[in-house]
Chains A and B, each alone.
Chain A
Amino acid sequence: MAALPLDAVDAPPVTDWPRELRAGGARREHAIAELHALLLRAARFELGRRRGQLWHLDAHELDDLATQAADDALVAILGKLDTFRGQSRFTTWAYKFALLEAGVKARRRAWRGRELPLTEDGWERLRSAAASPGASARMAELLAAIGDAIATELTPHQREVLVALTLDEVPIDVLAERRGTTRGALYKTLHDARRRLRAALERQGLSPREGGDP
């Protein structure tokens, strides 16, 4: 971040963010500095919430991650300023960018250096769930039918994405990074796969409630 201009040091707190961020010179610089401070606070808060998955980072590394998230959020916000419609408070609108950046960075950092689980691990988890003491005979039947539908109704890509995201619990941003795609594209694949599974169960007269939803 550039140093705050001297004539902006005593400037009042920003209230009309879109106007100040579009203003020129010192007013804009002041608004940007204030906004960055807000985003940094939000990113630190979010990383603090996720401290458990970032246990291996020291305080300095954690703060670096928060700064990167705030920097990236600021760039995104300035690029999308025209899409702010005033339907929420500006700060609420801005916070979501910081939370997104912090969350994505946290998930990716937590998985750095880790191999993605093999599809077979996911299948084992499905079998394990079916064999759980908490699974009734109907639940076991439902899980078996879902397993069959995963094997026969999905494309290989849908199968890989579904198993990774739902059975192996790979974070969607991590899978997107490894596969060179986006969260939105992966979720669309997951959504389509889920529709196919539901349709297959329906054809067999099975409902998700067959397992006795709690």
Chain B
Amino acid sequence: MIGQHLPALVVVVPLVAAPLIVLARRGAAGWAIATAASLASFAMAVALLLQVRAAGVISYAIGSWPPPWGIEYRVDAVNAFVLVLVTALAAVVAPYARRSIAAEVPADQQYLCYAMLCLVLAGLAGIAITGDAFNLFVFLEISSLATYVLIALGRDRRALLASYQYLIMGTIGATFYVIGVGLLYLMTGTLNLADLAARIGEVQGSRPVLAALAFITVGLCLKIALFPLHYWLPNAYAYAPSAFTAFLAGTATKVSIYALLRFYFSVFGEAATFGALPMREIFLVLSIAAMFLASLAAVFQDNLKHMLAYSSVGQIGYITLGISLDNQAGLTGSVVHLFNHGITKAALFLLAGALVFRLHSVRFADLAGVGRSMPLTAAGIVVGGLSLVGVPGMAGFVTKWYLVRGALDAGSWAIAFTPVVSSLIALWYVWRFVETAYFRAPSAAAAAAKEAPAILLVPALGLAFACIYFGFDTSFTVGAADAAARTLLGGAR
């Protein structure tokens, strides 16, 4: 009975949890509800993934209104995987959040953090699961609005500016998206994604459909923070409360990329997307620019969180590079990097949060010598960093392997070298941390600090360990990504 309603519950549970937390108005109760909701969502997402693997695509009609009239939730190999990523990170971040948020947010606002966290989770899960273009917009706005609030709750006053920047950019992005969806509705008379895909053939190549493609691309790319639309991201990541940054960095951009993949390969169709407009070339150039320019920018940051944020912009370039390659290996690399980068960056930001907890700063000057006073935290950051670089035996390596293969399959040695050369830049910025933490004389703050408490370390190091685990056991990640790439390239939906 419940199993049948899982597609709705995975969104509804965190959505209902948010107002409950506001009613409770207490930090501790809020934390308990948020943790329970995210654990429940994770369990449901895993159950959905298993169901999809066993029985194929699940279609769920909200309110029993059959699609395409009603809203359809539709789970297949692609979004089941994304859903597991989002809810898993929520389930890891929620237990961590209590001490971290208690240290960074005034007591009377803490419950708001948890309420917003639940709303973001509901929004992101909704984007991943919905089969309706307008419903997707609604969830995009739910998650975005909650994100603006959460960023603004950061204790640094610059958080307000960062939130405002993201508010402007995010709103433009959402508006562009909804304009695109409007154009599609105008031409096809439907909002259901599967129905859109079926009907778009008749109007394929017409000006409004091309305009829709362009609007949706730009709108979603703003959310993805694809270079050069990444302007909002570094400050948002740096000034939001640490626990939330970890969740955001691991999930928000990834879910938007999923939405883009869905539109490109399922709705417009591969041939139309890459045939009618020079999307392949545009994504290739922007991806490479991201992989090099944003990564280089990461090298020159004086603050660990800023460095990680620019690194994220660079790593997003890896994912979009796979999209531009438009073949099985390349797309597998893209989809697997959604997961691999998600857990890697979440681990790194959680560990950065542990540094904030003890040192009240993540400026490199204050991190000097922290390898001695906080050995576990520093070692975890090194592990996560090596995964960013893509050292074999780490999650990040798997991505590089498939992207290079994808480039070779596309017949280009020049493109094959871009991910590997870009990973050297990652080595460069990761090694800045290594040299700061292990070679420099301890700063006053680092000398006085002791290791972070277990409640922060266990989730963070657990994710760092996952970076290693998924470097060795790739059957889950590559298996899911391979199936997802097959689904996307098959144009099924």
Asked if A and B are interacting partners, one says: no
